[in-house]
Protein backbone atom coordinates (compact mmCIF):
# COMPACT_ATOMS: atom_id res chain seq x y z
CA UNK A 1 0.00 0.00 0.00
CA UNK A 2 1.39 3.41 -0.91
CA UNK A 3 2.57 5.46 2.03
CA UNK A 4 -0.04 8.16 1.75
CA UNK A 5 -2.84 5.59 1.80
CA UNK A 6 -1.29 3.78 4.71
CA UNK A 7 -1.08 7.07 6.61
CA UNK A 8 -4.75 7.77 5.85
CA UNK A 9 -5.66 4.29 7.05
CA UNK A 10 -3.76 4.60 10.32
CA UNK A 11 -5.15 8.10 10.93
CA UNK A 12 -8.69 6.98 10.34
CA UNK A 13 -8.42 3.87 12.51
CA UNK A 14 -6.93 5.90 15.34
CA UNK A 15 -9.65 8.53 15.08
CA UNK A 16 -12.30 5.78 15.07
CA UNK A 17 -10.81 4.23 18.17
CA UNK A 18 -10.84 7.62 19.90
CA UNK A 19 -14.45 8.39 18.89
CA UNK A 20 -16.41 7.80 22.09
CA UNK A 21 -19.92 8.88 21.07
CA UNK A 22 -22.11 8.86 17.97
CA UNK A 23 -21.24 12.48 17.10
CA UNK A 24 -17.47 11.91 17.13
CA UNK A 25 -17.98 8.70 15.17
CA UNK A 26 -20.05 10.48 12.55
CA UNK A 27 -17.36 13.16 12.17
CA UNK A 28 -14.82 10.44 11.32
CA UNK A 29 -17.23 8.82 8.86
CA UNK A 30 -17.99 12.07 7.04
CA UNK A 31 -14.34 13.18 7.15
CA UNK A 32 -13.29 9.95 5.43
CA UNK A 33 -16.09 8.73 3.17
CA UNK A 34 -18.33 11.82 2.99
CA UNK A 35 -18.62 14.10 -0.07
CA UNK A 36 -15.49 16.04 0.82
CA UNK A 37 -13.89 13.27 2.88
CA UNK A 38 -10.21 12.48 2.57
CA UNK A 39 -10.67 9.14 0.81
CA UNK A 40 -13.33 10.57 -1.48
CA UNK A 41 -10.91 13.33 -2.49
CA UNK A 42 -8.26 10.74 -3.39
CA UNK A 43 -10.79 8.81 -5.45
CA UNK A 44 -11.68 12.00 -7.30
CA UNK A 45 -8.01 12.71 -8.04
CA UNK A 46 -7.67 9.28 -9.62
CA UNK A 47 -9.20 10.53 -12.86
CA UNK A 48 -6.23 12.80 -13.40
CA UNK A 49 -3.61 10.05 -12.96
CA UNK A 50 -1.82 8.40 -15.86
CA UNK A 51 -3.65 5.26 -17.12
CA UNK A 52 -1.09 2.69 -15.91
CA UNK A 53 -0.85 4.36 -12.48
CA UNK A 54 -4.64 4.63 -12.30
CA UNK A 55 -5.17 0.90 -12.34
CA UNK A 56 -2.84 0.03 -9.45
CA UNK A 57 -3.87 3.04 -7.37
CA UNK A 58 -7.53 2.47 -8.14
CA UNK A 59 -7.35 -1.08 -6.81
CA UNK A 60 -5.53 0.09 -3.66
CA UNK A 61 -8.04 2.91 -3.08
CA UNK A 62 -11.03 0.60 -3.53
CA UNK A 63 -9.53 -1.94 -1.13
CA UNK A 64 -8.92 0.83 1.39
CA UNK A 65 -12.47 2.12 0.96
CA UNK A 66 -13.89 -1.35 1.68
CA UNK A 67 -11.63 -1.81 4.67
CA UNK A 68 -12.33 1.58 6.22
CA UNK A 69 -16.04 1.31 5.41
CA UNK A 70 -16.23 -1.96 7.34
CA UNK A 71 -14.18 -0.56 10.24
CA UNK A 72 -16.42 2.51 10.47
CA UNK A 73 -19.58 0.42 10.45
CA UNK A 74 -18.28 -1.91 13.11
CA UNK A 75 -17.21 0.96 15.36
CA UNK A 76 -20.65 2.55 14.87
CA UNK A 77 -22.40 -0.58 16.12
CA UNK A 78 -20.07 -0.79 19.11
CA UNK A 79 -20.75 2.84 20.06
CA UNK A 80 -24.50 2.28 19.80
CA UNK A 81 -24.29 -0.75 22.06
CA UNK A 82 -22.16 1.18 24.59
CA UNK A 83 -24.65 4.07 24.57
CA UNK A 84 -27.57 1.69 25.15
CA UNK A 85 -25.73 -0.01 27.98
CA UNK A 86 -24.99 3.36 29.59
CA UNK A 87 -28.65 4.40 29.31
CA UNK A 88 -29.84 1.15 30.80
CA UNK A 89 -27.54 1.65 33.74
CA UNK A 90 -28.46 5.32 34.21
CA UNK A 91 -32.21 4.82 33.87
CA UNK A 92 -32.45 1.85 36.15
CA UNK A 93 -35.93 1.59 37.73
CA UNK A 94 -36.42 -0.10 41.05
CA UNK A 95 -39.68 -1.96 40.47
CA UNK A 96 -39.75 -3.08 44.07
CA UNK A 97 -40.32 0.47 45.35
CA UNK A 98 -43.88 1.14 46.60
CA UNK A 99 -46.11 3.26 44.34
CA UNK A 100 -45.87 6.94 45.26
CA UNK A 101 -49.15 7.75 47.03
CA UNK A 102 -51.42 10.18 45.16
CA UNK A 103 -52.38 12.66 47.86
CA UNK A 104 -55.40 14.27 46.24
CA UNK A 105 -57.44 11.51 44.57
CA UNK A 106 -60.00 9.54 46.60
CA UNK A 107 -62.79 7.13 45.72
CA UNK A 108 -66.27 8.57 46.34
CA UNK A 109 -68.15 6.54 48.99
CA UNK A 110 -70.91 5.71 46.48
CA UNK A 111 -68.41 4.24 44.01
CA UNK A 112 -66.79 2.41 46.88
CA UNK A 113 -70.15 0.98 47.95
CA UNK A 114 -70.75 -0.33 44.42
CA UNK A 115 -67.24 -1.84 44.41
CA UNK A 116 -68.02 -3.57 47.69
CA UNK A 117 -71.31 -4.94 46.36
CA UNK A 118 -69.58 -6.22 43.24
CA UNK A 119 -66.86 -7.85 45.36
CA UNK A 120 -69.27 -9.59 47.74
CA UNK A 121 -71.65 -10.84 45.05
CA UNK A 122 -68.68 -11.60 42.82
CA UNK A 123 -67.44 -14.04 45.44
CA UNK A 124 -70.86 -15.72 45.26
CA UNK A 125 -70.53 -16.19 41.50
CA UNK A 126 -72.51 -13.16 40.30
CA UNK A 127 -71.36 -11.14 37.30
CA UNK A 128 -72.17 -7.50 36.60
CA UNK A 129 -74.77 -6.62 33.95
CA UNK A 130 -75.70 -3.14 32.82
CA UNK A 131 -78.45 -1.42 30.86
CA UNK A 132 -79.22 2.04 29.45
CA UNK A 133 -80.33 4.99 31.61
CA UNK A 134 -82.89 5.87 28.94
CA UNK A 135 -85.24 2.93 29.02
CA UNK A 136 -88.39 1.94 27.18
CA UNK A 137 -91.70 1.85 28.95
CA UNK A 138 -91.88 -1.84 28.11
CA UNK A 139 -88.56 -2.80 29.78
CA UNK A 140 -89.09 -0.52 32.78
CA UNK A 141 -92.72 -1.40 33.47
CA UNK A 142 -94.81 -3.57 31.13
CA UNK A 143 -92.47 -6.55 30.84
CA UNK A 144 -92.09 -6.39 34.63
CA UNK A 145 -95.79 -7.14 34.98
CA UNK A 146 -96.63 -3.47 35.60
CA UNK A 147 -98.99 -2.59 32.72
CA UNK A 148 -100.14 0.96 31.95
CA UNK A 149 -102.50 2.30 34.68
CA UNK A 150 -101.09 -0.17 37.24
CA UNK A 151 -101.13 1.70 40.59
CA UNK A 152 -97.45 0.79 41.20
CA UNK A 153 -96.49 3.16 38.37
CA UNK A 154 -97.63 6.18 40.41
CA UNK A 155 -94.82 5.62 42.93
CA UNK A 156 -92.31 5.81 40.10
CA UNK A 157 -92.96 9.27 38.67
CA UNK A 158 -90.02 9.99 36.41
CA UNK A 159 -88.76 12.03 33.48
CA UNK A 160 -90.36 11.05 30.20
CA UNK A 161 -88.80 11.71 26.82
CA UNK A 162 -90.72 12.91 23.78
CA UNK A 163 -91.65 9.98 21.53
CA UNK A 164 -89.50 9.19 18.52
CA UNK A 165 -91.28 9.22 15.18
CA UNK A 166 -93.58 6.24 14.89
CA UNK A 167 -93.54 5.44 18.62
CA UNK A 168 -96.51 5.56 20.91
CA UNK A 169 -96.78 8.44 23.43
CA UNK A 170 -94.08 8.69 26.13
CA UNK A 171 -92.58 5.33 25.38
CA UNK A 172 -89.08 6.32 26.59
CA UNK A 173 -88.09 7.53 30.03
CA UNK A 174 -85.20 7.79 32.46
CA UNK A 175 -85.44 4.39 34.13
CA UNK A 176 -87.02 4.39 37.59
CA UNK A 177 -85.38 1.14 38.62
CA UNK A 178 -82.59 -1.20 37.51
CA UNK A 179 -85.17 -4.02 37.28
CA UNK A 180 -85.47 -3.53 33.50
CA UNK A 181 -82.01 -5.08 33.14
CA UNK A 182 -83.58 -8.34 34.40
CA UNK A 183 -85.66 -8.27 31.23
CA UNK A 184 -82.76 -7.33 28.97
CA UNK A 185 -80.63 -10.12 30.43
CA UNK A 186 -83.28 -12.85 30.23
CA UNK A 187 -83.94 -11.87 26.62
CA UNK A 188 -80.29 -12.03 25.64
CA UNK A 189 -78.67 -14.90 27.56
CA UNK A 190 -80.06 -18.34 28.31
CA UNK A 191 -80.36 -19.44 31.97
CA UNK A 192 -78.78 -20.22 34.33
CA UNK A 193 -78.41 -16.51 35.15
CA UNK A 194 -76.67 -14.96 38.14
CA UNK A 195 -76.23 -11.18 37.79
CA UNK A 196 -76.11 -8.00 39.77
CA UNK A 197 -76.92 -4.69 38.13
CA UNK A 198 -75.51 -1.56 39.74
CA UNK A 199 -76.61 1.64 37.99
CA UNK A 200 -78.20 5.08 37.95
CA UNK A 201 -81.96 5.43 38.34
CA UNK A 202 -84.27 8.46 38.30
CA UNK A 203 -87.45 9.66 39.94
CA UNK A 204 -89.14 13.05 40.25
CA UNK A 205 -88.29 13.42 43.98
CA UNK A 206 -86.02 15.76 45.89
CA UNK A 207 -85.58 16.03 49.66
CA UNK A 208 -83.19 14.96 52.43
CA UNK A 209 -83.67 11.28 51.64
CA UNK A 210 -84.55 11.42 47.91
CA UNK A 211 -82.64 12.68 44.92
CA UNK A 212 -83.93 12.86 41.32
CA UNK A 213 -80.94 10.73 40.34
CA UNK A 214 -79.88 7.90 42.59
CA UNK A 215 -78.40 4.42 42.33
CA UNK A 216 -79.76 0.94 42.71
CA UNK A 217 -78.25 -2.48 42.65
CA UNK A 218 -80.46 -5.21 41.28
CA UNK A 219 -79.90 -8.94 41.58
CA UNK A 220 -81.32 -11.76 39.48
CA UNK A 221 -80.84 -15.51 39.70
CA UNK A 222 -82.64 -17.86 37.32
CA UNK A 223 -82.24 -21.62 37.27
CA UNK A 224 -84.30 -24.78 36.83
CA UNK A 225 -87.73 -24.93 38.49
CA UNK A 226 -87.16 -28.45 39.80
CA UNK A 227 -84.45 -30.98 40.53
CA UNK A 228 -81.22 -30.65 42.49
CA UNK A 229 -80.29 -27.36 40.78
CA UNK A 230 -83.68 -25.72 41.43
CA UNK A 231 -83.53 -22.12 42.66
CA UNK A 232 -85.69 -21.60 45.72
CA UNK A 233 -86.66 -18.93 48.22
CA UNK A 234 -84.11 -20.53 50.53
CA UNK A 235 -81.37 -19.43 48.13
CA UNK A 236 -82.76 -15.90 48.12
CA UNK A 237 -82.62 -15.75 51.91
CA UNK A 238 -79.15 -17.25 52.13
CA UNK A 239 -77.75 -14.94 49.46
CA UNK A 240 -79.17 -11.76 50.96
CA UNK A 241 -78.23 -12.61 54.54
CA UNK A 242 -74.70 -13.44 53.40
CA UNK A 243 -74.47 -10.16 51.50
CA UNK A 244 -75.77 -7.95 54.32
CA UNK A 245 -73.53 -9.52 56.94
CA UNK A 246 -70.46 -9.15 54.71
CA UNK A 247 -71.36 -5.59 53.69
CA UNK A 248 -71.80 -4.38 57.27
CA UNK A 249 -68.93 -6.62 58.43
CA UNK A 250 -71.21 -8.05 61.13
CA UNK A 251 -71.41 -11.86 61.15
CA UNK A 252 -74.48 -11.89 63.39
CA UNK A 253 -76.38 -8.90 61.95
CA UNK A 254 -80.12 -9.57 62.53
CA UNK A 255 -81.99 -9.85 59.19
CA UNK A 256 -85.79 -10.08 58.88
CA UNK A 257 -87.92 -11.07 55.89
CA UNK A 258 -91.36 -9.46 55.75
CA UNK A 259 -94.15 -10.25 53.27
CA UNK A 260 -94.69 -7.43 50.81
CA UNK A 261 -95.78 -6.70 47.25
CA UNK A 262 -93.94 -6.00 43.99
CA UNK A 263 -95.61 -6.50 40.61
CA UNK A 264 -92.68 -8.54 39.26
CA UNK A 265 -92.23 -11.03 42.13
CA UNK A 266 -94.50 -13.58 43.76
CA UNK A 267 -94.21 -14.02 46.67
CA UNK A 268 -92.50 -10.71 47.49
CA UNK A 269 -90.57 -9.76 50.61
CA UNK A 270 -89.07 -6.67 52.10
CA UNK A 271 -85.86 -7.25 54.00
CA UNK A 272 -85.01 -5.41 57.20
CA UNK A 273 -81.87 -5.26 59.31
CA UNK A 274 -81.75 -4.78 63.06
CA UNK A 275 -80.74 -1.32 64.28
CA UNK A 276 -81.22 1.19 67.08
CA UNK A 277 -83.49 3.97 65.84
CA UNK A 278 -82.31 6.33 68.61
CA UNK A 279 -78.54 6.02 68.13
CA UNK A 280 -78.49 4.87 64.50
CA UNK A 281 -76.35 1.89 65.48
CA UNK A 282 -76.60 -0.93 62.92
CA UNK A 283 -77.13 -4.38 64.44
CA UNK A 284 -77.97 -2.98 67.89
CA UNK A 285 -81.26 -2.05 69.61
CA UNK A 286 -84.60 -3.63 68.85
CA UNK A 287 -85.81 -1.68 65.79
CA UNK A 288 -85.95 -2.76 62.16
CA UNK A 289 -84.89 -0.86 59.09
CA UNK A 290 -85.90 -1.79 55.55
CA UNK A 291 -82.95 -2.15 53.16
CA UNK A 292 -84.03 -4.38 50.25
CA UNK A 293 -87.01 -5.47 48.15
CA UNK A 294 -87.03 -9.02 46.86
CA UNK A 295 -89.05 -12.04 45.80
CA UNK A 296 -89.39 -15.01 43.49
CA UNK A 297 -89.51 -13.89 39.86
CA UNK A 298 -93.18 -13.69 38.77
CA UNK A 299 -94.08 -16.41 36.23
CA UNK A 300 -95.48 -13.73 33.95
CA UNK A 301 -92.11 -11.93 33.89
CA UNK A 302 -90.36 -15.15 32.88
CA UNK A 303 -92.98 -15.75 30.17
CA UNK A 304 -92.55 -12.16 28.90
CA UNK A 305 -88.90 -13.03 28.32
CA UNK A 306 -89.69 -16.25 26.50
CA UNK A 307 -88.85 -18.56 29.43
CA UNK A 308 -91.28 -21.33 30.32
CA UNK A 309 -92.20 -20.77 34.00
CA UNK A 310 -92.72 -24.51 34.44
CA UNK A 311 -89.09 -25.12 33.50
CA UNK A 312 -87.38 -22.04 35.02
CA UNK A 313 -87.65 -20.16 38.25
CA UNK A 314 -85.57 -17.74 40.23
CA UNK A 315 -85.33 -14.84 42.61
CA UNK A 316 -84.66 -11.14 42.34
CA UNK A 317 -83.80 -8.33 44.70
CA UNK A 318 -83.17 -4.62 44.54
CA UNK A 319 -81.57 -2.14 46.89
CA UNK A 320 -80.67 1.53 47.07
CA UNK A 321 -76.93 2.13 46.89
CA UNK A 322 -77.19 5.56 48.59
CA UNK A 323 -79.20 4.13 51.46
CA UNK A 324 -76.74 1.32 52.17
CA UNK A 325 -73.80 3.70 51.82
CA UNK A 326 -75.35 6.25 54.22
CA UNK A 327 -76.19 3.57 56.78
CA UNK A 328 -72.73 2.07 56.68
CA UNK A 329 -70.91 5.39 57.04
CA UNK A 330 -73.43 7.24 59.21
CA UNK A 331 -74.05 9.91 56.55
CA UNK A 332 -77.20 11.80 57.64
CA UNK A 333 -78.17 13.76 54.50
CA UNK A 334 -78.39 12.17 51.07
CA UNK A 335 -77.74 15.48 49.32
CA UNK A 336 -74.21 15.68 50.74
CA UNK A 337 -73.31 12.76 48.46
CA UNK A 338 -73.66 15.00 45.41
CA UNK A 339 -72.38 18.35 46.67
CA UNK A 340 -68.71 17.77 45.79
CA UNK A 341 -67.61 19.45 49.03
CA UNK A 342 -63.91 18.67 49.24
CA UNK A 343 -63.83 18.57 53.04
CA UNK A 344 -66.67 16.01 52.96
CA UNK A 345 -64.99 14.00 50.22
CA UNK A 346 -61.71 13.93 52.15
CA UNK A 347 -63.55 12.65 55.18
CA UNK A 348 -65.67 9.95 53.50
CA UNK A 349 -63.51 9.12 50.48
CA UNK A 350 -61.32 6.04 50.45
CA UNK A 351 -57.89 5.54 49.01
CA UNK A 352 -57.63 4.18 45.49
CA UNK A 353 -54.56 2.32 46.74
CA UNK A 354 -56.62 0.13 49.04
CA UNK A 355 -58.95 -1.72 46.70
CA UNK A 356 -61.84 -3.79 48.05
CA UNK A 357 -60.54 -7.22 48.98
CA UNK A 358 -62.80 -9.69 50.69
CA UNK A 359 -60.23 -11.60 52.68
CA UNK A 360 -59.42 -8.50 54.71
CA UNK A 361 -63.10 -7.89 55.46
CA UNK A 362 -65.12 -5.18 53.75
N1 LIG B 1 -87.30 -2.19 41.71
C2 LIG B 1 -87.79 -2.06 43.09
C3 LIG B 1 -87.84 -0.61 43.47
O4 LIG B 1 -87.29 0.21 42.80
C5 LIG B 1 -86.88 -2.82 44.02
C6 LIG B 1 -87.00 -4.29 43.86
C7 LIG B 1 -87.92 -5.00 44.64
C8 LIG B 1 -86.28 -4.97 42.92
C9 LIG B 1 -88.06 -6.36 44.49
C10 LIG B 1 -86.42 -6.35 42.78
C11 LIG B 1 -87.32 -7.03 43.57
O12 LIG B 1 -85.73 -7.05 41.88
O13 LIG B 1 -87.44 -8.35 43.42
O14 LIG B 1 -88.45 -0.29 44.44
SS3 track for 277-303? CCCCCECCCCEEEEEEEEEEECHHHHH
Mean pLDDT within 214-236: 97
Percent of the chain with pLDDT over 90: 71
- The residue that leads in pLDDT, 47 or 224, is 224
Q: Which pLDDT score, from 0 to 100, does residue 361 have? A: 59
* CA distance linking residue 316 with residue 145, whole number of Å: 14
**What does the pLDDT read at residue 48?**
87
Confidence bin at 162 (pLDDT 50/70/90): confident
Shared domain check, 114 and 85: no
> Across the chain, what does the average pLDDT equal?
92
256 and 328 housed in the same domain: yes
Residue 326 to residue 330: CA distance in whole angstroms:
5
**Domain-ending residue, one of 36, 57, 90:** 90
The answer as to whether 96 is a domain residue is: no
Measured by CA distance, the residue closest to atom 12 of ligand 1 is 317
The whole domain housing 33 covers 3-90
For the CA of 295, the nearest atom of ligand 1: 13
Q: Which of 179, 259, 300, 321 to mutate to test the pocket of ligand 1 (most atoms within 8 A of CB)?
A: 179
Count of other CB atoms within 10 angstroms of residue 67: 14
Secondary-structure breakdown of the chain: helix, strand, coil percentages, each rounded to the nearest 5:
45, 20, 35
From 151, 152, 262, mutation site for ligand 1 pocket: most ligand atoms within 8 A of C-beta: 262
Is 356 part of any domain?
A: no
Predicted structure pTM score = 0.72
Within a domain: 43 = yes
Residue 350 Cα to ligand 1 midpoint, Å, equals 29
Q: Which residue has a Cα nearest atom 4 of ligand 1?
A: 177
**Is 353 within a domain?**
no
| Residue 52 shares a structural domain with residue 149 | no
> By three-state DSSP, how is residue 258 classified?
strand
Does residue 8 form part of some domain?
yes
Same domain, 62 and 184: no
| Residue 98 within a domain | no
Ligand 1 pocket: which of 152, 177, 203, 260 to mutate (most atoms within 8 A of CB): 177
Whether 22 contacts 83, CB under 8 Å = yes
Ligand 1 center to 279 CA (angstroms): 28
Measuring CA to CA, which residue among 27, 24, 21 is closest to residue 80?
21
On the question of pLDDT at 94 being above 70, the answer is yes
Number of domains in the chain: 2
Q: Are residues 122 and 30 both part of a single domain? A: no
Answer yes or no: is 360 within a domain: no
DSSP assignment of 115-126 equals HHHHHHHHHTT-
- Give yes or no for residue 360 having a pLDDT over 80: no
User: Closest residue (by CA) to atom 8 of ligand 1?
Assistant: 318
Beta strand 193-202 pairing with 127-128: parallel
Residue positions counted in the chain: 362
Which of 38, 74, 37, 43 is closest to 60 using CA atoms? 43
Distances (CA, A) of 62 to 25, 32, 55, 57: 22, 13, 11, 8
pLDDT value of residue 224: 98
pLDDT for 50 equals: 87
| 220 and 319 share one domain | yes
> In this structure, is residue 22 part of a structural domain?
yes
Q: Please tell me the distance from the alpha carbon of residue 272 to that of residue 290, in angstroms, as a whole number.
A: 4
First to last CA, the chain: 85
Q: Which atom of ligand 1 is nearest to the CA of 265?
A: 13
Q: Are both 62 and 113 inside the same structural domain?
A: no
Confidence tier at 215 by pLDDT (50, 70, 90): very high
Q: Give the pLDDT confidence of 284-329 residue by residue, as tens digits.
A: 889 999 999 999 999 999 999 999 999 999 999 999 999 999 999 9
Residues with CB under 6 A from ligand 1: 177, 179, 218, 262, 265, 293-295, 316-318
Probe target for ligand 1 pocket from 218, 235, 269, with the most ligand atoms within 8 Å of CB: 218
Residue 357 CA from chain centroid, whole number: 16
pLDDT at residue number 157: 84
Q: What are phi and psi of 256, to 5 degrees?
A: -125, 135
CB neighbour list of residue 259: distance below 8 Å, 6 or more residues apart: 267, 268, 269
Amino acid sequence: MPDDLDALKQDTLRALEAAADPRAWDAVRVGTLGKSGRLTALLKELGRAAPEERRARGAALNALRDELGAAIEQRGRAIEAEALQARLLAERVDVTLPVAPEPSGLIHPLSRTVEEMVAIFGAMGFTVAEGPDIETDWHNFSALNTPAHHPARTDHDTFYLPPLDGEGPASRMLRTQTSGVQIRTMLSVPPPIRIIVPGRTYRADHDATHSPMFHQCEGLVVGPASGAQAITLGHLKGTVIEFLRAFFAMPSLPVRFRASYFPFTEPSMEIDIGWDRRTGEIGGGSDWLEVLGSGMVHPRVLANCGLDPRAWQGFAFGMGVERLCMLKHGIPDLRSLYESDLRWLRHYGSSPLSPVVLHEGI
